[in-house]
Amino acid sequence: MRYFASIAALFCFFMPASALANCTGTYCNDILLTRIYVNGPITYLQTNADQSLLDCDTDPGNYLRVRRSDSEYDDWYALLLTAFAQGAPISLRTEPGTGTCYIQYVMQNR
């Protein structure tokens, strides 16, 4: 049994971050940002996760979106830019029932 636990621990240690990233429903967990694109009133985000599993529309371009008019935008953008620069994983929730994948909140993970 101890041998199995050691193998499982090694597998998790060497597993790529993309294997842990997941999106489902209105939530993405342990994802890495692969692109941040600011254009007018919207900031667009691409990640290493399969965003098609979300209950919202990421098209065109498979992007999550952040409205620059949101009151938390400056805080979110600082967190997103830091996570992007450090290659740190984040978790986020999208707004339910909006159709388009707009971000409701963001958390940075360690």
pLDDT in tens, the chain (110 residues): 555 444 444 444 444 444 557 999 999 999 999 999 999 999 999 999 999 899 999 888 889 999 999 999 999 999 999 999 999 999 999 999 889 999 999 998 77
To which residue do tokens 């159709």 refer? 99
Its pTM stands at 0.78
pLDDT given at position 61: 83
Domains and CATH numbers, the chain: 17-108 (2.40.50.340)
Q: Which two tokens stand for residue 26?
A: 């209105």
The one-letter code for the residue type at 13 is F
Give, in order, the Cα–Cα distances in Å from 102 to each of 11, 16, 18, 44, 45.
34, 27, 22, 9, 10
Q: From start to end of 8-101, where are the E strands?
A: 22-24, 27-31, 33-39, 42-47, 64-67, 90-94
pLDDT given at position 98: 85
